[in-house]
A and B are shown apart, each in its own frame.
Chain A
């Protein structure tokens, strides 16, 4: 057996990688089609506030990251529903605002240490068994939600007003999607990194969209692209000693460029 599969932390990284590759684009597709791609990056930055609090108080950063991003997701949706601010302005405020809060908390915790860098850019060697269990629980929740509510999520993403006119609870479904996005992002940051998770949520979906397929097949293809990016990224980062998050996103970027140029109108 190759050396890579004999290391416990690499096996955990691969297991976590598979779970992430499936749920990240599954949530991402519902953000991308509604032109809400920036949401992924915003929630990732809010997660950093949670990580900073975790480091400052010496508690589990992942838990506080989930709490911070979920709260922010709910607040963003409530603000968006009021309709006095542009959706993208709300996201921009949360993105830079949360970064400011995180930096201030960090300075209280005396500095930007190695542990923080591993959250920013991802570090596969730090994934413990507990991280994997939490990720598995989120994986099941996301998968169940999307499978059971697929037709509602599709309807609300395509035409919110039509959904509401028919009596479908569009606001609750919107809220559910962003909360699932928040939790997924916070749990995925160990592998891909806070600064890069947004890319993994958006790039495979945008790549798949270039092929002009049905909604369902776009989702399937984006999961495939995401799996290829994460798996080959983990291999390459191990053998070439590269940062895992960066390698994964670079591969996703190459897939996007290929998809874009292959499908360019003649």
Chain B
């Protein structure tokens, strides 16, 4: 079987106020991959995601989605985005169902109303993430873990081929975190969704993902999690000796 590359990042650099944030980043993500991205704060992880999503323009280089240059890529809805979450939406008067449904808006297009198929996709997204029973509740009434599943349901509502998650475990307790990562693994394995995940939890990345990308302004390493559990990389990445403790799973 030939492997299809769904995201190609070619020689991408980005500056913020004259300071380099990303320098000459090149890598490819193949269809069905589960890629974990780690690195110190300010290492450019979120910036890289925003460039892939077309929210920021790279200073040099380009991103291709399924072979097409990002700015011209018309089917943006095939990428489901789960942004880093603050508490901002706690006061927003909206139900879970309204929020999940809004994930289908871009795919529907202007002036189009949801058809039976669209509504079925929205219901399925709520079922997969187990938020159907919460659908009439307000987003502000939910726990951190529940809210996180709602944002994933919103991303899944457009039936994406690629799922991009930016530190989805912030503000979520440990028990919910474990369940959550099993759930993401299932999405990747059973539905064949390509997953890109930023996490500060090195343990999670080492155990759950199929490949790891270490980013500290430059691409420090890219390969299998085994290759990455290596003190040399950790030192280069975090600037000091980090003892890596493997938890038994």
Least CB distance from B132 to A in Å reads 16
Residues of A within 8 A of B163 (CB): none
Which of A161, A166, A215, A216 contacts B105 (CB under 8 A)?
Answer: A166
Asked whether B108 is an interface residue with its Cβ less than 8 Å from the other chain, the reply is yes
Residues of B within 8 A of A149 (CB): 110
B98 touches A166 (CB 8 A): no
B76 touches A213 (CB 8 A): no
Given contacts A148-B111, A165-B81, contact A33 B98 (CB under 8 A): no
Asked whether B106 is an interface residue with its Cβ less than 8 Å from the other chain, the reply is yes
B93 touches A215 (CB 8 A): yes
Residues of A within 8 A of B77 (CB): 166-167
Asked whether A214 is an interface residue with its Cβ less than 8 Å from the other chain, the reply is yes
Asked whether B94 is an interface residue with its Cβ less than 8 Å from the other chain, the reply is yes
Q: Give a binary string over A190-220; 1 marks a CB under 8 Å from any B CB, 0 the rest.
A: 0000000000000000000100111110100
B83 touches A158 (CB 8 A): no
Which of B53, B89, B93, B154 contacts A214 (CB under 8 A)?
Answer: B93
Given contacts A155-B105, A214-B98, A216-B98, contact A162 B93 (CB under 8 A): no
Residues of A within 8 A of B53 (CB): 165
Least CB distance from A237 to B in Å reads 31
Q: Give a binary string over A118-155; 1 marks a CB under 8 Å from any B CB, 0 the rest.
A: 00000000000000000000000000000011011011
Is chain A's interface secondary structure helix, strand, loop, or mixed overall?
helix
Which of B79, B89, B97, B107 contacts A158 (CB under 8 A)?
Answer: B89
A167 touches B106 (CB 8 A): yes
Which of B53, B54, B94 has the largest number of chain A CB atoms within 10 A? B94
B55 touches A158 (CB 8 A): no
**8 Å CB contacts to B: which residues of A205-243?**
209, 212-216, 218
Asked whether A159 is an interface residue with its Cβ less than 8 Å from the other chain, the reply is yes
> Residue of A at shortest CB range from B89?
A158
B102 touches A154 (CB 8 A): yes
A159 touches B98 (CB 8 A): no
> Residue of A at shortest CB range from B108?
A151
Interface size class of B (residues with CB under 8 A): 20 to 34
B55 touches A151 (CB 8 A): no
Asked whether A88 is an interface residue with its Cβ less than 8 Å from the other chain, the reply is no
Q: Give a binary string over B80-108; 1 marks a CB under 8 Å from any A CB, 0 the rest.
A: 01010000010011110111011101111
Give Cα A166 to B81, complex, Å.
8
Asked whether A116 is an interface residue with its Cβ less than 8 Å from the other chain, the reply is no
B92 touches A166 (CB 8 A): no
Least CB distance from B142 to A in Å reads 13
Least CB distance from B98 to A in Å reads 5
Residues of B within 8 A of A166 (CB): 76-77, 81, 105-107, 158
Give Cα A166 to B55, complex, Å.
10
Residues of A within 8 A of B154 (CB): 162
A152 touches B92 (CB 8 A): no
Which of B89, B105, B111, B136 has the largest number of chain A CB atoms within 10 A? B105
Asked whether A168 is an interface residue with its Cβ less than 8 Å from the other chain, the reply is yes
Asked whether A163 is an interface residue with its Cβ less than 8 Å from the other chain, the reply is yes
B106 touches A209 (CB 8 A): no
Q: Give a binary string over B36-80; 1 marks a CB under 8 Å from any A CB, 0 the rest.
A: 000000000000000001110000000000000000001011010
Question: What is the interface of chain A, defined by CB distance below 8 A to chain B?
Answer: 33, 148-149, 151-152, 154-155, 158-159, 161-168, 209, 212-216, 218
Give 16 A-B pairs besides A162-B103, A166-B77, A168-B106 with Cβ atoms closer than 8 angstroms.
Answer: A33-B92, A151-B102, A151-B108, A152-B105, A158-B102, A159-B83, A161-B55, A162-B83, A164-B54, A165-B81, A167-B54, A167-B76, A168-B105, A215-B94, A215-B95, A216-B98
Question: What is the interface of chain B, defined by CB distance below 8 A to chain A?
Answer: 53-55, 74, 76-77, 79, 81, 83, 89, 92-95, 97-99, 101-103, 105-108, 110-111, 136, 138, 141, 154, 158
6 cross-chain CB contacts under 8 A: A159-B83, A162-B83, A164-B54, A166-B76, A166-B81, A215-B94
